[in-house]
Structure formats: C-alpha cells, structure tokens
C-alpha cells in the first residue's frame, strides 16, 4: 500500500507482564481532509472577567494604549488562535450592538439578562474588531437571535462591512474607522434551542427568523459566511436530532455551517469514564454529517455545509442552579492535568472528522472556563493551554484515517471503547506523520512497535508528551510550570526491523515520524 505506515502497538497483559496488545495502521493515502485553521478558534463573551479584566483593562500597566492586555494577547497568539467568536454566548441574546459604539462616555450601562451582571459597553464592535486585527485573528460575530430583530442584524453587517456612503457606514467612519472591517463570519444566534436562552424558540420559529436574517444580511454583503444555531441542548427530553433536521431543511440554501456545543465534566471522579466523552462527540458529529448529507441529497448544486463546533470545553465546577447563579461564579474554572488530556480527546475527534468539522471554538479565551487566567499583576497558563497550542501546529495538514485495534474498556453507560484515542495528520512537504495518541488507561502503559509497509520508518522521532503522576495537579499565579509538556528527540529502540515506543498510562503524546 503506497506511503503506508503500520504502527503495531504490541504486547499483552500476559504472564510475561508486558503491556496490553494494540495495533494502529496509518496509510497516508487514506485522506479525510484538510485540518482547517479555524478548528483552532476561540471565544470571548461578555461574562465574568473574560472581557473586562481579561482582554481589556484600561489603565493597567500591563495594557497598551487602547486598554488591551498585552500579556493576554501574547499568550493567545502563543496558543495558535486563528478565529475569535464574540460577543456571546448567552450574553448576545439580550445584547444591542448599538449600545457599544460611539464615544465611550456616552454609552449606556445596562443590566444584562444572561448572567446577571452590569454591562458598561466600553468594549463594543469597534474595540473587538480592532483587537482582532492587532492579535492577527479572524473575527466571528454572533448576532442576537433571541430578543433582537432582523433589522438589528442587517444594520450590524452594514456598520462593519459597507463601503458605500450609507447611514451606518457613515456612523462607522464618524467613530474613527473609514475602511470596512469586512467581517466574514456571522453566527445566526446562540443556543436558541436552549430554554435557558433569552428569546428561546422552537425550531420552526427559529428558522423563520434565521432565514429572514440571512436574507437581509446577505443583501448587504453577499460574501459573508453564516453559521446556524445548531444543537446545544442534549438534556433529557430534548430532541436535538430533530432540531438540527429542521434547521438544515429550512436553512440549507443560506447557511455555510451548523453549530454544535458540548461541555464535559468529571463529576463522578472517574478518569476513564471522563475521557470516554469522545463517544458522544463523535456521535454528535456523525449524526449531523448524515443530516447534512440528507439535506443536500438530490441537489447537484447544493450549497456546501460544514460543522462549526463553536463552543467546547471541560466545564463542571464553576456552575450554579440557575444562569444568574452560574454567572455569580464568573465561571472561573481551575483546570487540572486530566482536563489537559481532554483537550487531546476533543482535537482527536475534530481531526478524525476533518472533512466536516471546519471550525471549532474553545470556550473561552481568558478567566472564564479558559486556558489563560489573570489578575492585576500578571497571568498564569492553565494545564489545558499546552495541548491546545501544540495541536494548533497541525493546522493546514492533511488528516488521515487510522485503523485501530486496542485494548478495550467499558465506560459506564457507553459502548466499549479503545484505551487508545488517536488521530493522525500528514505533512506531505516534509513527509512527516503526526501521530496523536491519548492513552486513557489510568494504569496501563502501551508499547508501540512501528512498521512501515514500504520500508522502515526513520529511527529518529520527535516526541511531545503531556505526562504527570497527579491527575488533579493544577497551576496558580507564580507556579504554572508543574504540568507542562516534555519534548525530546529519540532514537527509537528496535524490535528486529521495527522501531518500538511506549505510550505511558494517562498521557497524551504527539509522535512525529519521518517516512
């Protein structure tokens, strides 16, 4: 088989005491698709200290002349963020974008209905788009499809993208920006399927609104890309599949993406069950892939539609029994080592579905369920930061399909899963395979025997590894080096003509091998 590598992850828990037997086959001809750069997107909501005290802190010695925290921007860039979603999230369903433009002293302070805070509106559309340009990220604006109107959405596109001499283009110029921002990505609302959402609608009412909003927005700028509000409510009694079916059926001629949202947690303190969430992520993606195919079926010129997984993360500690109670926690989740491993689990799923998942946004960027955490003196990087930054180096590479035989386990309430959760990408220019391996066994190391079908793979390999003995290890201010990756170049041991490598228990490894 042309350009194929066979990785034989070998050995079994036999009398010899060797590691369990497993096998992975990699064939660079088995192309899934390009790993789109926007899979490494992020999200900034007006919630807690994400914007105020996070991205934006005027008067701080750590901020630039426009009030943007320089240390946060540098950390964001170091994480490889490509796309930034704003302003929500639940916040946007009660947000009037016009409150956030013009002279700051004249902007109204309003109570916001999503999280129970006061919104000063000193960081609005111009600040967000200016910040995105300075940070070198693509902006993604989500409209208010809850309490907002079609005309609000149309005028927002006019304000940001119109080049002609119109009312809202003149207002933008009056506010200091002559050149249109040319915002390309627009979300048609946030989590409108959720009963917690301001302006919650059933699928039929949502699609009526979204269809008219899409029409009006595209009349201003036909080049924009639109993301429909897909499923976020997977609770008991929620028909998430039907929601997506209706959205795709009614909006298939207007949208470019449909969104999915997923948050996971380890409330039961069971490591292996926690990392079995990949089964849910894979299932949700694959169901929506089928629904997209059905919506496009029999239509030769059907519009391409992709999946935007535009909210995802670990989130279960900083929660309350209502939206306002949750808001009072400011969602300041402190992440540990096992949460860092979950980042690899999410990215492995996105890479395995690289032909359909063309956008993904970690929620969120700073302080609020975030990899970056600040105070007035500085910041620290949470353990989840490092896998995100490393996976981002695989953007634009080719995702390739794996065949995996691995020791299995039976998580509670789920089908059997392999202990090895894997994905792979291929860089044709350098003939390098990136093998991403999450060993989600809490107790078992797994040894890999590596074999190239067309000859021997190079004995030298670059290794990136997250590995720590304490699954609950965390970081804090002045102490954020405890849970960090190790990198090394190794000469792989040989088992006959085949190289051998061991993936440690409860670890995340990216192994780079030259063909």
- What string of DSSP letters covers 65-117? TTSBBHHHHHHHHHTT--EEEES-SGGGGG--GGGGSS-GGGSPPEE-TTTS-
138-160: pLDDT as tens digits:
999 999 999 999 999 999 999 99
**Number of neighbouring beta carbons within 10 Å of residue 186:** 25
Extended strands (E) in 304-397: 306-314, 357-363, 372-374, 379-381
With beta carbons less than 8 A apart as the criterion, state whether 372 and 379 touch.
yes
59-88: pLDDT as tens digits:
999 999 999 999 999 999 999 999 999 999
Question: What Å distances lie between residue 136 and 80, 81, 101, 428, 444, CA to CA?
Answer: 10, 9, 22, 26, 42
Cα 51 from Cα 69, distance rounded (Å):
10
Q: Which CATH class is domain 4-33+420-514?
A: mainly beta
Helix (H/G/I), strand (E/B), else coil: 478: coil
Six token digits for residue 447: 């040894």
* pLDDT > 70? residue 11: no
Six token digits for residue 46: 């007006």
Q: Residue 189, exposed/middle/buried by CB under 10 A (0-12, 13-18, 19+)? A: buried
With beta carbons less than 8 A apart as the criterion, state whether 246 and 204 touch.
yes
Find the mean pLDDT for residues 468-485: 97
Query: Residue 460: what pLDDT?
Result: 84
Domain with CATH 2.60.40.1180 in the chain: 4-33+420-514
pLDDT band at 405 (very low <50, low <70, confident <90, very high): confident
Cα 100 from Cα 299, distance rounded (Å):
42
* pLDDT > 90? residue 456: no
Cα 147 from Cα 366, distance rounded (Å):
27
Six token digits for residue 339: 């949460």
Find the mean pLDDT for residues 199-217: 98
Six token digits for residue 311: 């909210």
Provide the β-strand partners of residue 366: 372
Cα 377 from Cα 371, distance rounded (Å):
17
Domain with CATH 3.20.20.80 in the chain: 37-395
Q: Which residues are catalytic?
A: 191, 311
pLDDT band at 10 (very low <50, low <70, confident <90, very high): very low
76-131: pLDDT as tens digits:
999 999 999 999 999 999 999 999 999 999 999 999 999 999 999 999 999 999 99
Q: Given CA atoms 296, 245, 413, 444 in this order, what sign does their dihedral have?
A: positive
With beta carbons less than 8 A apart as the criterion, state whether 367 and 330 touch.
yes
Find the mean pLDDT for residues 16-24: 58
The per-residue pLDDT of the chain, averaged, comes to: 93
Single out the residue of 265, 313, 274 nearest to residue 421, CA to CA. 274
Cα 74 from Cα 272, distance rounded (Å):
34
Helices (H) and strands (E) in the chain, counts: 11, 25
Cα 112 from Cα 119, distance rounded (Å):
6
Burial 304-315 (b: 16+ CB within 10 A, else e): ebbbbbbbbbbb
* pLDDT > 70? residue 447: yes
Residue 206's Cβ-side half-sphere holds a number of Cα atoms within 13 Å equal to 31
Query: Residue 13: what pLDDT?
Result: 35
Note the pTM of the prediction, 2 decimals. 0.94
Query: Residue 18: what pLDDT?
Result: 54
With beta carbons less than 8 A apart as the criterion, state whether 323 and 394 touch.
no
Six token digits for residue 101: 């433009």
**Number of neighbouring beta carbons within 10 Å of residue 427:** 17
Angle between helices 203-220 and 150-161 (to 10 degrees): 30
Cα 161 from Cα 59, distance rounded (Å):
31
Residue 160's Cβ-side half-sphere holds a number of Cα atoms within 13 Å equal to 27
Looking at per-residue pLDDT, the higher value among 254 and 501 belongs to 254
Q: Which CATH superfamily is domain 37-395 in?
A: Glycosidases (3.20.20.80)
């Amino acid at each position: 088989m042309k350009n194929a590598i066979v990785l034989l992850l070998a050995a079994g828990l036999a009398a010899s005491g060797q590691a369990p037997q497993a096998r992975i086959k990699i064939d660079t001809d088995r192309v899934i698709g390009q790993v789109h750069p926007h899979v490494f997107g992020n999200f900034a909501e007006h919630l807690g200290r994400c914007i105020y005290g996070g991205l934006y802190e005027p008067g701080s010695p750590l901020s630039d002349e426009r009030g943007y925290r320089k240390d946060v921007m540098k950390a964001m860039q170091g994480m490889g963020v490509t796309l930034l979603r704003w302003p929500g999230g639940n916040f946007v369903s009660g947000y009037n974008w016009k409150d956030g433009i013009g002279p700051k002293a004249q902007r109204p302070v309003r109570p916001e209905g999503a999280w129970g805070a006061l919104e000063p509106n000193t960081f609005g559309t111009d600040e967000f788009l200016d910040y995105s340009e300075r940070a070198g990220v693509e902006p993604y604006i989500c409209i208010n499809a809850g309490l907002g109107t079609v005309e609000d959405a149309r005028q927002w596109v006019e304000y940001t993208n119109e080049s002609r001499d119109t009312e809202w283009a003149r207002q933008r110029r009056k506010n200091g920006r002559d050149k249109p921002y040319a915002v390309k990505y627009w979300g048609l609302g946030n989590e409108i399927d959720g009963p917690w959402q301001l302006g919650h609608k059933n699928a039929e009412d949502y699609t009526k609104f979204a269809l008219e909003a899409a029409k009006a927005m595209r009349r201003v700028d036909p080049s924009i890309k639109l993301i429909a509000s897909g499923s976020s409510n997977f609770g008991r009694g929620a028909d998430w599949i039907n929601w997506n079916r209706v959205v795709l059926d009614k909006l298939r001629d207007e949208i470019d993406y449909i969104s999915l949202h997923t948050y996971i947690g380890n409330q039961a303190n069971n490591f292996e069950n926690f990392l079995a969430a990949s089964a849910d992520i894979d299932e949700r993606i694959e169901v929506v892939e089928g629904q997209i195919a059905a919506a496009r079926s029999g239509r030769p010129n059907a519009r391409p539609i992709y999946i935007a997984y535009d909210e995802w993360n670990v989130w279960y500690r900083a929660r309350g029994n209502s939206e306002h109670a949750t808001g009072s926690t400011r969602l300041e989740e402190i992440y540990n080592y096992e949460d860092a491993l979950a980042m690899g689990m999410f990215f492995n799923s996105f890479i395995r579905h690289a032909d359909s998942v063309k956008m993904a946004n970690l929620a969120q960027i700073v302080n609020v369920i975030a990899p970056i955490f600040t105070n007035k003196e500085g910041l620290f990087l949470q353990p989840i930061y490092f896998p995100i930054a490393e996976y981002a180096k695989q953007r634009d590479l080719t995702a390739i399909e794996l065949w995996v035989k691995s020791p299995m386990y039976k998580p509670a309430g789920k089908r059997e899963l392999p202990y090895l959760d894997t994905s792979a990408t291929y860089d044709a220019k350098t003939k390098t395979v990136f093998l991403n391996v999450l060993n989600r066994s809490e107790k078992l190391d797994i040894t890999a025997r590596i074999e190239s079908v067309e000859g021997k793979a190079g004995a030298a390999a670059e290794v990136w590894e997250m590995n720590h003995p304490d699954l609950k290890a965390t970081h804090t201010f002045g102490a954020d080096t405890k849970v960090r990756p190790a990198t090394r170049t190794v000469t792989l041991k040989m088992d006959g003509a085949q190289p051998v490598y061991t993936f440690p228990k409860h670890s995340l490894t990216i192994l780079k091998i030259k063909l």
